[in-house]
A and B are shown apart, each in its own frame.
Chain A
Amino acid sequence: QKEVEQNSGPLSVPEGAIASLNCTYSDRGSQSFFWYRQYSGKSPELIMSIYSNGDKEDGRFTAQLNKASQYVSLLIRDSQPSDSATYLCAVNEGTNAGKSTFGDGTTLTVKP
């Protein structure tokens, strides 16, 4: 079992819809959780970070964390074609705050 698992893609949604991306992790001691967006041919860029249970909103993006269920998600409201990318979930180990473990990513396509 991988340490960080993301829902298998690809995921396709129509423009204006809500895209939901999910991630589970195995290390119960994990403290920091991140979502990165990676456009084709580019490097990953951080779009959201979350550290405590609940929701965190930033514009059209909402990250949700449930440590009891070891689950983190990313919701993208009013999806735009420019949101089409691969989204990587990253979790920092509880015993080593500096090291992130990445999921395999979910590729999102937003169709006009």
Chain B
Amino acid sequence: DAGVIQSPRHEVTEMGQEVTLRCKPISGHDYLFWYRQTMMRGLELLIYFNNNVPIDDSGMPEDRFSAKMPNASFSTLKIQPSEPRDSAVYFCASSSTDKNTEAFFGQGTRLTVV
């Protein structure tokens, strides 16, 4: 398996623009997580899905953030409008309850909002 695939790897955008981050989880995994990592706040869980259904979005910082998982092989995290304080590395991870539940991370998307 190719692992968790995220795109783009880097994104630079201007404040106020819409940003969409994409994730393809490992085939067969039933959990998908979106994390944000910054030096100040560490690794924060934004939202996670189980079997394509959002379970907990309490980590989503504001209404500007939204996430969808239309099917088992694809998820998006959207920020609209983006702000400079959204600059961070965003990780997608997936796991399977059938395989000891450890999470496998994608390579991350480094977002810079100027």
Contact = CB atoms under 8 A, between A and B. Distances in A.
Do the two chains belong together in a single complex?
yes
Contact of A105 (B42, B55, B95, B104): B42
Interface in B7-64: 30-31, 33, 42-43, 45, 48, 50, 55-56
B41 to A, nearest CB: 9
Interface string A16-53: 00000000000000001010000000111110010100
Interface string A53-93: 00000000000000000000000000000000000101010
Contact of B50 (A88, A98, A100, A105): A98
A43 B106 contact: yes
Contacts of A43: 91, 105-108
Interface residues of B, number: 22
Nearest to A103: B42
- Binding site secondary structure of chain A: strand
B80 interface: no
17 contacts: A32-B101, A32-B102, A34-B103, A43-B107, A44-B43, A45-B105, A49-B100, A49-B102, A97-B101, A98-B30, A98-B48, A99-B56, A100-B101, A100-B103, A102-B43, A102-B45, A104-B42
